[in-house]
Structure 1
Amino acid sequence: MRATGFAAVCTALLLLGGCSGEEKPAAPPVKDAAQLASAAAEGTQKARSSKIALETTAEDGRKVVVTSSGLYEGPNSKFSMVAEVAGEKRDLIFADGVLYYHLSDAQVRELKTDKEWVKITADGKDALSAANGELMTNVVETLDPTRTIDRISKSGKITKSEQADLNGTATTHYVLDLGGSPAEVWVDAEQRPVQVNLGKTTVKYDSWASDVVIIAPPPEAIGDSR
C-alpha cells in the first residue's frame, strides 16, 4: 500500500492498531527461557504473519542479507524471500516443506531448461544445492521465530531482562547464555519477537499480522537442477 499524508497513513494503521496515540507498554518479563519460548510461540501464532530482515555471515565467509515475508502455520510455515549472497540476489520460496530457487537467465541457459524454478536441498548433490542448499535451509529455520527461540530455550538461560525501547517500540529485552555464547531477544507487548541476535546472525521482525499470501511455484514452472 502507498498513501500520501499522515492522516491517510494513520487511517490504514488504525485498522492494525497503530497511531492510537498510546503505545502499549512492554510485556512483563518471564522467568526462564522455556516460558520465553512458549510466550513468543503464542504471540507468533496469534499474529500469523510478519515481514523479516536477516543478516548473517556464512561459515565460508559469504555475507547473507535476506528480506522476507513469513506466514506462520506451525510445521507448515511458508516464506517468500529475496536473498543476497555475496552480492548476488536470488528469489526463493519455502512452501509445503520444499525450498524453491528462482533461476537467473544465465542459469536457465546453463541447465538448458525452459523452467524458472528448481528445488534445492541441504544434502543435494546438484551444483545449486551444493552451493546454496544447506545455507538457505539454515536461513529458513532461522527466519521462523518459533523455531529459533525454541532452540535458544533448550540450551539457554536468561541472565538479564529489562524494559527497553527498540527503534520506537516498547519491548522486553532478554539476554541469554547459551553455554558460553550470548543471545539476545526483544519481544513486544504482544510477546511477538522484534529482534533476535544469535552469534553472527541478526533477525528483525515487523509488520505483524500483515496480509501475506505465499504460494509454491506451479508444477509446470519447476525444473530439474541436475
Structure 2
Amino acid sequence: MKRVTTLAAVTTAAVLALSACGGEKQSGAAAPAPAPSEQKSQLASPLGDPLQLAALTRESTKKAKSSKVTMESVAGTEKQTATGQGVYDGENTKFSMSMDSDGKKLEILFVDSALYFKLDASDKAEMKTDKSYVKIAADGQDPISQMLGKMMSKAIKDSDPSRTLEQVSQAGKITKSDQVELNGELTNHYLVEIEVEKAIALIAGEVGVPFPADVQKQLDAKLKGKNVTIPTELWLNADQLPVQVVSDQTAFMKAMGVPGDGVAKTTVKYTDWGSPVEVTAPPADQVGDLAEIMKKAGGR
C-alpha cells in the first residue's frame, strides 16, 4: 500500500502547509475584534501584538468563511503545486484540493470529517479495486487511518488561515511590519519567526497523538537548544484576511539533515474570499473501504 501511504503523507504535509500547522484559540488571551464592515474597508496600520492580530483575523475569516487557495512548495529542484477551495467552519469544514506531485496529479476531498483520495487506473490496479475513491477517516480501523487520519482530520478542520496568526502568538513573534502593494492591492506586510520546537510541540499536543519515542529522540537530537526558526511573511488585506503567506523552511530542513543545499519554501495565496464553495462526498458505491482494500491487496 505504498501509494496510499505516499498520498496520505503528501496530503498531510500540504494541508499543514496550507493551515500553517494549525492551532487552537487563545481563550481569554485577547478580546474578540469586530468583524469587518460590509463596505469597502480602509487599510489600518499594522498591529504589533500577535494576539490582537490573531483575534481580528479570526473574526474576519469567520465572517468570510470560504476562499480559493493556490500553493507552491519548492525544495531544491523539486516542486509541488496545488489548487483548492475551502469552507472554514470547524466541524463543518469542507475542502477540495488538486495537487501535482512527482509528475502525477492527486485529487483530494475532505467532507463530513473524512478524507477521500481519487484513484486513477494505476492506483486501482495496485489496490486491486474497481472503486474510484478510497476513504481515510480519523476513526478508521486500518493502520494508515490510525496513523494519519486523526492528524489529517485535525489539520483540515483547523485549515482556517487565521490559525497562522494564532500559531505566531504561541510559537513565534512579529519581527517587522510595513505596508506594501501586492498584486495591485495595498496590504499590511508582516515578517514573523516561528520557533520550530514550540510549533512541533503544539501540533503533537493538539492532535493528541504523541510522537513515537524514537521519533521524538531524533527530533530532540536535531532541534533541541538550536533555536531553529521558520521565517514567515504574511500579507493581509484591509479586511485583515490573508492574501499571501510565504514560509521558508530551509533552516529547518538543514537542521533535520535533509540532503541538498537548495531553498525549501512554501507560498500560499488566498483569493475570492466569501465566494460560494461546493464540496460534496463521492457517491457511496464509488468509495472503497481502506481496511478491506488493504486486506485484498495483501497489505502492501
TM over 0.5: yes
Partner of 1:147: 163
Q: How has the CA–CA distance of structure 1 residues 86 and 56 changed in structure 2, closer, same or farther, with 3 Å as cutoff? A: same
Residue 44 (structure 2) pairs with residue 27 (structure 1): yes
Moved more, 61-70 or 136-145: 136-145
Could you tell me which of 79, 83, 96 is aligned with 2:95?
79
Structure 2 alignment gaps of length 5 or more: 1-38, 196-228, 249-264, 295-300
Report which of the two has the higher share of helix: 2
* Residue 202 in structure 1 maps to residue 218 in structure 2: no
- Whose strand fraction is larger, Structure 1's or Structure 2's? 1
Distance 1:135 1:77 in 2: 15
Amino acid at match of 1:34: L
List per-residue Cα deviations over 1:129-176 (Å, max 9, x = no partner): 99x989977984785313333223211111111111111112111111
SS at 2:165 equivalent = helix
Q: Could you tell me whether the CA contact under 8 Å between 2:113 and 2:137 is conserved in 1?
A: no
The aligned length equals 202
Pick the aligned partner of 2:237 from 184, 188, 196. 188
Residue 212, structure 1, aligned to residue 294, structure 2: no
Cα deviation digits, residues 164-208 of structure 1 (max 9, x gap): 111111211111122443111111011110011122221100011
Moved over 6 A (4+): 121-124, 132-139
Task: Specify the code of the residue in structure 2 equivalent to 1:220.
Answer: D
Cα deviation, residue 24, structure 1: 4.7
Task: Confirm or deny that 1:43 pairs with 2:60.
Answer: yes
Does 2:120 correspond to 1:104? yes
3-state secondary structure, aligned to 1:190: coil
**Structure 2 vs 1, CA of residues 175 and 204 (structure 1 numbering), >3 Å: closer, same or farther?**
same
Q: Give 1:221's aligned residue.
A: 286
What RMSD, in angstroms, separates the aligned Cα atoms of the two structures? 3.3
Distance 1:81 1:95, change over 3 A: same
Cα deviation, residue 74, structure 1: 2.3
Cα distance in 1 for residues equivalent to 2:146 and 2:120: 15
Instruction: Give structure 1 stretches of 5+ with no counterpart.
Output: 1-19
Percent of aligned pairs sharing the same letter: 42
How far apart, CA to CA, are the structure 2 residues paired with 1:99 and 1:121?
6
Q: Using the alignment, how far apart are the partners of 1:202 and 1:144 within structure 2?
A: 16
Please list the CA deviations of residues 69-93 of structure 1 after superposition, one character each: whole Å capped at 9, or x if unmatched.
1111124321111011122111100
